[in-house]
């Protein structure tokens, strides 16, 4: 089965990095859809207590903002697979892409569940850097 046929998990909304959103707020933005169009019985949850993305210092000092859209592959244990993580939509400044990719390595989720079993999912995760 190809990745295109496996469950798709899309996080709508944003993770605001200036401390405007916490784990609970980020979780409200999550929506998941299986290939059949149905939602998993149990939605995946972000387990990180704090948002793991670090604002690039030079861009912060220059008061620059950036938006990055990451695609993550989350396995049945809730761990994003590092080699599958990529930037789906790039920021204007490459430093934001790098910061988003670096922060993604520490993300942890509870898995989506369908029929009492964990399911692997593909995640679109928007990350906004706002000053």
Q: How confident is the model at residue 123 (pLDDT cuts 50, 70, 90)?
A: confident
Percentage of the chain beyond pLDDT 70 is 70
Tell me which H or E stretch contains 128: strand 121-129
pLDDT beyond 50 at 79: yes
From CA 33, how far away is CA 54, in angstroms rounded?
Answer: 29
Closest CA to 103 of 121, 85, 84: 85
In the chain, domain spans: 3-129
Look at residue 117 and tell me whether its pLDDT is greater than 60: yes
- Summarize the confidence of residues 72-94 as an average pLDDT: 91
The CATH fold assigned to 3-129 is TolA/TonB C-terminal domain (3.30.2420)
The yes-or-no verdict on residue 33 having pLDDT over 70 is: no
Residue 32 sits at φ, ψ, to 5 deg, of: -130, 140
User: Is pTM, for the whole model, over 0.85?
Assistant: no
Range with lowest mean pLDDT among 6-10, 41-45, 127-131: 6-10
Whose structure tokens read 């972000």?
46
């Amino acid at each position: 089965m190809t990745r295109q046929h496996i469950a798709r998990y899309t996080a709508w909304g944003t993770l605001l990095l200036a401390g405007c959103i916490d784990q609970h707020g980020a979780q409200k933005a999550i929506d998941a859809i299986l290939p059949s169009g149905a939602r998993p019985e149990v939605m995946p949850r972000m387990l990180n207590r704090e948002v793991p993305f670090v604002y690039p210092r030079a861009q912060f000092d220059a008061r620059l903002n950036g938006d990055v859209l990451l695609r993550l592959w989350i396995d049945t244990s809730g761990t994003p697979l590092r080699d599958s993580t990529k930037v789906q939509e790039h920021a204007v400044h490459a430093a934001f892409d790098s910061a988003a990719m670096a922060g993604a390595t520490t993300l942890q989720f509870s898995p989506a569940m369908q029929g009492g079993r964990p399911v692997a999912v593909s995640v679109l995760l928007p990350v906004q850097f706002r000053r």
